[in-house]
Amino acid sequence: MKSATGLTGSGSRDWFIQRVSAIVLAAYTVIVFGWILCHSGFSYEQWSGFMMTLPMKIFSLLAILSLVAHGWIGMWQVFTDYVTTRHMGPSASGLRLVLTTAVIIAVFVYAIWGIQIFWANR
């Protein structure tokens, strides 16, 4: 059965996107923590200089988009698997709709906010 609320409409594509996004997020975390470990006692100017370079801005954008996709797919799976009529009765469909809508709004706001932080003219 195909679901209209999945990210791609295909379980295997969603699975693949979630794994790739996890790798991007792990690499981003290693790079940021690696920079912090190599630059102890850094100032705001040094941190800003590092994060606002074009490669880090692009990598940060990729990380934000990966976080949005990863979070959406993960939460959709949780709602699909655990907010069911078997567990919650007839109100499950309404609750799943409310929760799904809340996650869509949240990831959209976080994506716009994150993009604005890195790409707004300063």
Q: What is the CATH number of the domain that holds 49?
A: 1.20.1300.10
Helix 54-82 to helix 92-119 angle (10° resolution) is 180
Residue 49 lies in a domain: yes
Mean pLDDT of 107-115: 94
Domains contained in the chain, number:
1
| Sign of CA pseudo-dihedral 95, 101, 18, 37 | negative
Residue 58 lies in a domain: yes
**Which residue range forms the structural domain that includes residue 53?**
11-119
Residue 4 lies in a domain: no
Q: What is the pLDDT of residue 122?
A: 59
Residue 88 lies in a domain: yes
Backbone angles phi, psi at 119, to 5 degrees: -115, 0
- Please give the residue that has the higher pLDDT: either 32 or 3: 32
Contacts of 24 (CB under 8 A, 6+ apart): 62, 63, 66
Residue 1 lies in a domain: no
* Distance spanning both ends of the chain, measured CA to CA: 48
pLDDT confidence band for 2 (50 / 70 / 90): very low
Residue 3 lies in a domain: no
